[in-house]
Structure 1
Amino acid sequence: MTEESRELFAVITHLVTSAPTSLDETPILAAFRMVDAAGKLMALGAPDDEFLRAAHADFTDHATLVLTDQAAFREWLDEYVRHFTRETLNRTAATS
């Protein structure tokens, strides 16, 4: 098994084993699990994708807010989603 396969398996396992936990946790922690999984996928690589590298760094810089300042985490998450939405629109326009 390659290192890439092991890393991908670890992310998939994280997602699967988090599912039952998310049923009983607060909505903000469930939301964190989703962006945490996205962060793990970004860490696996897309070395030629500057947006994803920057998005991963942004997530890493703000991840602990969910534990220390949930209002700030919500604000950051709203902007993070807007950032991804703008990038999706830019990429869609570029391929049209």
Structure 2
Amino acid sequence: MSEQVKVEEDLFDIVVYLVNSAPTSLGETPSLAAFRMMDAASRLLAVLQRTTSDTEQQTFLAEARADYDAHYNLVMTDQEAFKQWLPDFVRRCTEEAMRRAAAPSP
């Protein structure tokens, strides 16, 4: 199987996950609905990490996934801590987006 086909399958799996999560999220607590979004983001980060050749991007993606992995269980064990962690993760991702936007085009 080519890498392109694998990426397409992985992305479609994430789409199916999100689509199936939408109805479920209507009856969940806001924390669990946020968790589903974060879980999908983590899955997308994994696809990006596997496909990028940029060292800086790989570093960010690996660190972001490690941060998520270290905190995702909080939604089940300590929802308040999960809510407190989210803004920091959002900030890190936003800073990376701004860094990429400011970087010169190849």
- Relative to the length of structure 2, the TM-score reads 0.79
Q: How many residues align?
A: 96
Is 2:85 aligned against 1:76? yes
- State the alpha-carbon separation in 2 of the partners of residues 82 and 66 from structure 1: 19
Q: What is the aligned counterpart of 2:36 among 33, 36, 48?
A: 33
- After the TM superposition, which residues 53-92 of structure 1 pair with which residues of structure 2 at under 5 Å, given as runs? 53-92=62-101
Report deviation, 1:92: 2.2
Q: Distance in 2 between matches of 1:44 and 1:92?
A: 20
Deviation per residue, 1:3-32 (Å, 9 max, x gap): 322222211110010010111111111111
**1:41-79 CA deviation, whole Å, 9 max, x = no partner?**
111233432212210111111110100011111111111
Report the Cα distance in structure 2 between the residues aligned to 1:91 and 1:3, rounded to whole angstroms: 25
Normalised by the length of structure 1, the TM-score is 0.87
Give structure 1 regions of 4+ aligned residues with deviation exceeding 6 angstroms: none
SS of residue matched to 1:36: helix
Instruction: State the alpha-carbon separation in 1 of the partners of residues 20 and 101 from structure 2.
Output: 33
Structure 2: distance between partners of 1:34 and 1:41:
11
CA distance in 2, matches of 1:10, 1:86: 28
Unaligned runs of 5+ in 1: none
**In structure 2, what is the Cα distance between the partners aligned to 1:72 and 1:81?**
15
